[in-house]
A and B are shown apart, each in its own frame.
Chain A
Amino acid sequence: MNLGRRRFRDRVMAALVVLGTLVVLVPLFFILFYVFAEGLGALNWAFFTQGPRPPGEAGGGMLPAIVGTFVVDLIALVLAAVLGLAAGILLAEYPEHPLNPPLRLVADVMAGLPAILMGLVAFVLVVKPLGHFSGLSGSVALALIMIPIIVRATEGVLKLIPWELREAGLALGLPRWRVVLSLVLPAARGGILTGLMLALARGAGEAAPLLFTAFGNPYLTTNPLEPMDTLPLKIFVYAVSPYEDWHRQAWGAALLLALLIMAASYLARRYAGGRR
C-alpha cells in the first residue's frame, strides 16, 4: 500500500474519532445550556432566602431544600465514605481475606440495583423503626447508592499504587495497617477524593429514593431527624405541578444542583492536585 493512501486513511479515521466525540458532546452542552437558559432567571434573592409559598401562589424560594440538600448529602457522604473506604481498602490491600468474595458480590449487586430500591431499604431500616420520615433516612438511602461507587473507585485507585511502596514500608518493620494508612492511602489521595466526588454527584441527583424517606418539608429545618426537603425532591414535585412559577423554580433548582456538584468536584480536584 502506498504512503498517500495510508495518510488518507489516517485522516479519515482521525476525522471519525473527532466526529464521534462531537456527537457525544453536543447533547451534553445542549443540556447544560438549556438548564442555564431556563434556570438562570429563577435565581433571585427570594430563591435563596425564602421557603416555598402555598400552591399556586407565585414567589417564595428554596431555602429549606438548599439547607436540606447540604445536610442530607453530607451525612450520606460521611456514612458512605466510612463504609466504602473500609471495604475498598479491604479488597485492595488484603486480597487474601476470606470476607472479600462475599463483599465483592454485595458491592457488585448494590451497584446494579435501582436507586428507588435503596429508598425502600432505608424505609425499612430507618423510617419504620423511628416511626416517621426523616432527613437521616434519606441520607441512609443515598449512602447505599454511593457505597458501591466508592468501593470500586477506592479499590481501583489503590491497586494502581506500586506494590514496591508497600514492600518498602514493610521492610522498615512497619506493621501492615500502618503501611496502608501512612504510605498507601496518602499516595492514592487524589484518586480516592475523585471517587468520593463521583459518588456525591451520583447521590446528590437522586429524587426517587428520597420520596418515602426524607419525604420533603416546606419548613426550614437543620434537624436530620425531621423530614427534610432536598433540591431533587423539589425539582420532581415542582416539575409535575400545574403552576408556571413552580416550573420556573424547578429549572432554577436544577441549575443550582448542577452548579453545586460542579463546584464540589472542582474544589476536590484542586485540593487533591495541589498536594500530589
Chain B
Amino acid sequence: MNPSVRMETRDLSVYYGKKPGVKEITLPIYDRQITALIGPSGCGKTTFLRALNRMHDLNPVVRVEGEVLLDGKNIYDPDVDPVVVRRRVGMVFQRPTPFPTMSIFDNVVAGLKLVGERDRKRLRQVAEEALKAAALWDEVKDRLFSPAAGLSGGQQQRLSIARALAVEPEVLLMDEPTSALDPASTQAIEDLLASLKERVTIVIVTHNMQQAARVSDHTAFFLDGSLIEFDRTEKIFTNPKDPRTEAYITGRFG
C-alpha cells in the first residue's frame, strides 16, 4: 500500500515572539490515514497541529515560517483565505466546546446554518449523518432540540466531532480529544476514529502512547520543538531508529 500525501509541511517553524515553539518540521500527512503526534508536554505538538489550519492567525505574537501544503498549495500564501482553509481542515479541541446557547441540532449544523444554508431537509439530513458518524445519534435522536450543555462530557466531545464532520472537512485535526474524558468515552471515540478514516484524513495529538499505538497508521515523535522521528506506527513502537524515541516510548521520560 502506498497512500498519497494529502498535506505536507516543509521547514515549518512557529515562533512565540522570539522563542521557537516548533523548529523546521518537514512531515508528510497521508491521505485517509491517521497520523499521531506524540511527545512530552511542551514539545510543540499542539503548536504544530494548530499551524495546519492557521489557528495561530489570531494571535499577534505568533509567527509562522515555512510552508504547509494542502494538495500541493501552500495555505500561508497571501492569496489563500484562512476561512477556506479551516473549512477544508477542521479541528476538534482538547476540551469539548459545544456552543452554549444552541440546541444539539443547531450545534451540529452550525457550520452550515451560520453561512446561510436554509434548507431544513438538507440540514436535518446532514445532522443525522454527522451524529451517526460520531456515534452519538442513538443517544440524542430523541432530544435533538434540547440544549447541548445538558450532554455529558463524552457526549459533548462527540458532538464537537459531529459538528466538525458536518462541514465535510478533508482533514480533521484532533488536539488530545480524549484527555478530558473517562475510559468509556475514550473507547467510543477511538472506535470512531477507525471508521472515520475511510472518509477523512486525521491528525491526532495525544499524550497517551497506547492510544497512538492503537489508532494510528503513522506516528511522529516530537521533542523540544523538533521532529525526532516519523515512521509507520508499528515501526516507531517496535523498532525506533532514534534512542530518544525509544526512551520515550518505553516510559523512561515524559
User: A residues bordering B, Cβ < 8 Å?
Assistant: 96, 164-176, 178, 182-183, 186-187, 189, 275-276
Contacts and interface: CB of A to CB of B under 8 A. Distances in A.
A96 B164 contact: no
Contacts of B167: 172-173
B237 interface: no
Interface string B47-62: 0000001010010100
A127 B95 CA distance: 56
B224 to A, nearest CB: 25
Interface of B: 53, 55, 58, 60, 83-84, 86-88, 90-93, 95, 97, 99-101, 110-111, 114-115, 160, 163-164, 167
A171 B114 contact: no
A78 to B, nearest CB: 24
Contacts of B87: 172-173
18 contacts: A164-B97, A165-B97, A166-B58, A168-B160, A171-B90, A171-B92, A171-B93, A172-B114, A172-B163, A173-B88, A173-B111, A173-B167, A174-B115, A182-B110, A183-B101, A186-B101, A187-B99, A187-B100
Contacts of A172: 86-87, 90, 110-111, 114, 163-164, 167
A173 B83 contact: yes
A169 B49 CA distance: 17
Given A178-B114, A178-B115, A182-B114, A173 B97 contact: no
Given A167-B55, A167-B93, A173 B86 contact: yes
Given A96-B60, A178-B114, A182-B114, A171 B53 contact: yes
A269 B162 CA distance: 34
A276 B83 CA distance: 29
Contact of B86 (A164, A170, A183, A186): A170
Contacts of A167: 55, 91, 93, 97
Contact of B101 (A168, A169, A187): A187
A186 to B, nearest CB: 4
A175 B97 CA distance: 18
A171 B115 contact: no
Contacts of A165: 97, 99-100
B99 A168 contact: yes
Given A167-B91, A173-B115, A187-B101, 13 more contacts: A165-B97, A165-B100, A168-B93, A170-B55, A170-B58, A171-B55, A171-B90, A171-B164, A172-B164, A173-B111, A178-B114, A178-B115, A182-B114
A159 B98 CA distance: 18
Nearest to A164: B97
A173 B91 contact: no
Contacts of B115: 173-174, 178
A187 B100 CA distance: 7
Given A168-B93, A178-B115, A183 B58 contact: no
Contacts of A189: 101
Given A164-B93, A165-B97, A171 B60 contact: no
A92 to B, nearest CB: 13
Contacts of A174: 83, 110-111, 114-115
